[in-house]
């Protein structure tokens, strides 16, 4: 009897969590509301971020500072911010993005020419005259890293796609010349759209990474959708793209926060991957799978 009661309770708990996950993910289907850099192409300043639990929020940050976006035992993704002068206030835009997978490091930065400068393991990649895309695939002892740089990606313009066994990230450029709500002309800036391809074996941290932890632990429901970042910005600040001394680092750390509890595994088995996170302007909506209602539920089998 007691055993039956526990199972019923667990089933009810799971049901509630799954509905929450479905709702959190379903929010993405509502057009560009809340992304800030929506259809108008205008900017509000300050990257609008969406974490892996579907929550969107404004992240302010300091001009010139680096912040950790995703951190996991073998992955690290960070951003560098620059000044954005709006018609009525100063904000920040993403100027650079660093991505590390195992021992390999990629940096994508806006150059003085407002184009993307792409570095792979410290070496700047160059497009030859007439070339408009290049692909680099690195087979590692375990896993693979792919980098695809395109000058004219149909859904995103100039873009770099980075893919590992865990993450697929598209970093894309918004050229200078868009206008904010007050008509002030904005500089070029970077955006990204990240897909978490499956459950990470170790903990996930970082500004959008930790959203996954809330989801996997069933905390998503408790957080109000207030468009605010709930962490301490300074605890995500780094000394450079690949620094690991900040409070919420998980790079090189086994099982950082990723306790493999029974309830967590049950929840993870019901999450439909990929989960998406993003920063900046909304990625071309046509390319995003719209997860709504039962589509957001896992299809990997029962409880």
Ligand X SMILES: *[C@@H]1O[C@H](CO)[C@@H](O)[C@H](O)[C@H]1NC(C)=O
CB atoms within 10 A of CB 67: 23
- CB of 45 vs ligand X, minimal distance in Å: 10
Q: Does 23 bind ligand X (CB under 6 A)?
A: no
SS3 of 25, please?
helix
Question: Residue holding tokens 């919420």?
Answer: 248
Q: Choose between 90 and 132: whose C-beta lies nearer to ligand X.
A: 90
- CB of 286 vs ligand X, minimal distance in Å: 36
CB atoms within 10 A of CB 43: 25
Q: With beta carbons less than 8 A apart as the criterion, state whether 280 and 37 touch.
A: yes
Measured in degrees and rounded to the nearest 5, phi and psi for residue 65 equal -95, 160
Q: Choose between 30 and 62: whose C-beta lies nearer to ligand X.
A: 62
- Any residues with CB less than 8 A from the CB of 130 and at least 6 apart, and which? none
Tell me the per-residue interface mask from 54 to 93 with ligand X, x by CB under 6 A, - otherwise. Answer: -----------------------------x-x---xx---
SS3 of 127, please?
coil
Q: Choose between 58 and 165: whose C-beta lies nearer to ligand X.
A: 58
What the block records as the tokens of 145 is 């890293």
Q: Choose between 90 and 152: whose C-beta lies nearer to ligand X.
A: 90
What the block records as the tokens of 230 is 């709930």
- Any residues with CB less than 8 A from the CB of 37 and at least 6 apart, and which? 43, 44, 48, 174, 191, 280, 281, 282
Q: Choose between 89 and 230: whose C-beta lies nearer to ligand X.
A: 89
Select the residue whose beta carbon is closest to ligand X and give its number.
Answer: 90
Q: How many residues bind ligand X (CB under 6 A)?
A: 4
Q: Choose between 95 and 210: whose C-beta lies nearer to ligand X.
A: 95
- Cα–Cα distance, 222 to 218 (Å, whole number): 9
Q: Is the dihedral of CA 208, 87, 65, 119 positive or negative?
A: positive
- CB of 234 vs ligand X, minimal distance in Å: 21
- CB of 48 vs ligand X, minimal distance in Å: 20
- CB of 86 vs ligand X, minimal distance in Å: 8
Q: By CB under 6 A, name the binding residues for ligand X.
A: 83, 85, 89-90
């Amino acid at each position: 009897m007691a055993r039956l009661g526990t199972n019923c309770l667990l089933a009810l708990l799971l049901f509630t969590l799954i509905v929450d996950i479905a709702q959190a993910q379903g929010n993405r289907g509502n057009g560009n509301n809340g992304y800030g850099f929506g259809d108008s192409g205008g900017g509000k300043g300050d990257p609008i971020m969406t974490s892996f639990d579907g929550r969107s929020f404004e992240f302010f940050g300091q001009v010139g500072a680096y912040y950790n976006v995703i951190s996991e035992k073998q992955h690290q993704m960070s951003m560098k911010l620059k000044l954005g002068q709006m018609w009525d206030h100063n904000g920040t835009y993403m100027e650079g993005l660093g991505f590390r997978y195992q021992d390999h490091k990629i940096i994508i930065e806006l150059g003085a020419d407002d184009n993307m400068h792409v570095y792979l393991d410290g070496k700047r990649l160059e497009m030859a005259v007439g070339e408009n895309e290049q692909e680099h695939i690195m087979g590692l002892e375990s896993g693979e890293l792919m980098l695809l740089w395109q000058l004219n990606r149909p859904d995103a313009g100039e873009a770099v796609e980075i893919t590992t066994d865990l993450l697929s990230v598209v970093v894309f450029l918004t050229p200078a010349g868009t206008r904010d709500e007050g008509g002030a002309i904005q500089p070029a800036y970077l955006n990204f759209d990240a897909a978490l391809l499956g459950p990470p074996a170790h903990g996930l941290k970082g500004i959008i990474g930790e959203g996954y932890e809330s989801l996997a632990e069933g905390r998503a429901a408790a957080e109000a959708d207030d468009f605010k970042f709930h962490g301490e910005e300074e605890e995500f600040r780094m000394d450079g793209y690949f620094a690991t001394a900040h409070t919420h680092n998980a790079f090189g750390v086994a099982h950082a926060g990723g306790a493999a509890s029974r309830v967590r595994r049950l929840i993870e088995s019901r999450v439909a991957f990929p989960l998406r996170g993003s920063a900046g302007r909304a990625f071309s909506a046509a390319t995003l799978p719209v997860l709504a209602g039962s589509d957001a539920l896992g299809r990997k089998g029962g409880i």
